[in-house]
Amino acid sequence: MMRKVLAVLLVLCMTAGLASCKGGKKEEPGLAETEEGQEEAAPLGNQIYVMTAAPDHGWTGQGAAYAAAFVDEINMGIHGDYAATHYIADNGETQNEQVQEILANQDAAGVMFWGCDEAAGEGQQALTDAGIPWISYDRIIESTMNGAVLNYSGDNWQSGVAVAYYLITNGMTPDSTLVQFSGDASTVSERRLEGFQRFLMGQEDYYDAEGDRIYTMEEVNQGKIWTQEEVDRLCTENYFEYNCEWSNEKAKEYIESNLPSWIEAAKSTDHTMFIFSMDDEMSMAFLEVLSGDVFDESVKGELEALTVYMSAVGGMEEMYAVLRGDNQELCAAADTYFDGLMSVYYNPVMTQTAIQKLLDYLEGTWDYVLGAEDYEPVFIVDSENVKEYEGFIGR
């Protein structure tokens, strides 16, 4: 089943200064008893802290820009009697330092925490220990997630499900050549891969854009689901995977060094190649390389002779321009070398939704369970429906 809300029930609803199972501001959560041996947490103030990755480019950049705009609205009094501060960082260690500053200020009502990497878990644990309510956004760090009043992001499992659904409907088999562009070693990439494999084995279903049409593996694969052995074969034989760190440039380096090997693998089996890309930036890298002169015409000709389908995740406007046919150069590459292209929609506006959920918690307008999870639906955008959606500016 698609994970819309996965509650993680704990033995106690109250830990480290979070007062009750109702949004805590009105019941002085900062004064609650903590675990034995710890001091009482300081009273909570009215300051909202919004911690995001640096707004450099892509989905991350657009999401951080939405966060900054929401912080401005809070400071204008639009969202109640709060003040807000926006912290940006390039890495988790910097975010840990920012948490220490927040603790020293002794005025935090709550924190929306978009972790840059796994190292940020130290800062998240410090917030829990201090009794400051926080929401984990986008990158869910499993070691600390049970201390968050909510873990909120796009549905990364369903992102992988959507990719598997798309590639299966276009002919992927256990013997196909699969090229995987991974993001990093975080739960984001892990869950996308888990969703991909679970769809193949009939354990997850794909939901369309409206959320009212469900597609099962059996339905799209002539009544058959794959065994674990078949999934393992796909992900070991004729399988190529690289951690691109969500980088367009690193993906280009990977492609430029390995494309001939991928082509030879596809030629040795059924002359098909399937691209499992976890981000638009990495899929765009493929189009950009093929539009240039890195490879000679013989290599490009061999690729053109194959059947190739490429996926992506994100919703970049640059990718949507290709799907709409608005970028002449990259559209030519897509039409020449790929038999199909899509991107899984991942809405950056939900950065603001995460901040609003923190405000809702503080106002006591929803019941919560520490460590609960809430995931926003995602779905396929392709040339058929791309005009219905506005992409985010990636660069």
Can you give the pLDDT at residue 31?
A: 29
Can you give the pLDDT at residue 210?
A: 76
pTM for this predicted structure:
0.84
Q: Is the pLDDT of residue 13 over 70?
A: no
* % pLDDT > 70, the chain: 88
Can you give the pLDDT at residue 394?
A: 64
- Distance in Å from the first CA to the final CA of the chain: 35
Interacting residues of 211 by C-beta distance below 8 A, sequence separation 6+ = 377, 379
Least confident of 103-112, 178-187, 252-261: 178-187
Q: Report CA-CA distances (Å) from 78 to 48, 63, 90.
A: 13, 20, 29
pLDDT confidence band for 391 (50 / 70 / 90): confident
Least confident of 18-32, 170-184, 185-199, 321-335: 18-32
Q: What pLDDT digit, counting tens, does each position of 339-352 carry? A: 999 999 988 889 99
Contact 175, 270 (CB under 8 A): yes
Can you give the pLDDT at residue 27?
A: 36
Can you give the pLDDT at residue 293?
A: 94
Reference 197, options 167, 237, 152, 223; nearest CA is 167
Q: Which residue has the higher pLDDT, 190 or 29?
A: 190
Can you give the pLDDT at residue 43?
A: 56
Q: What pLDDT digit, counting tens, does each position of 240-268 carry? A: 999 999 899 999 999 999 999 999 999 99
Looking at residues 222-236, what average pLDDT do you find? 97
Q: What pLDDT digit, counting tens, does each position of 54-95 carry? A: 876 677 888 898 999 999 999 999 999 999 999 999 999 999
Can you give the pLDDT at residue 186?
A: 87
Domains defined for the chain, CATH in brackets:
5-153+348-376 (3.40.50.2300), 156-346+380-388 (3.40.50.2300)
C-alpha atoms less than 13 angstroms from C-alpha of 155 in its C-beta half-sphere? 29
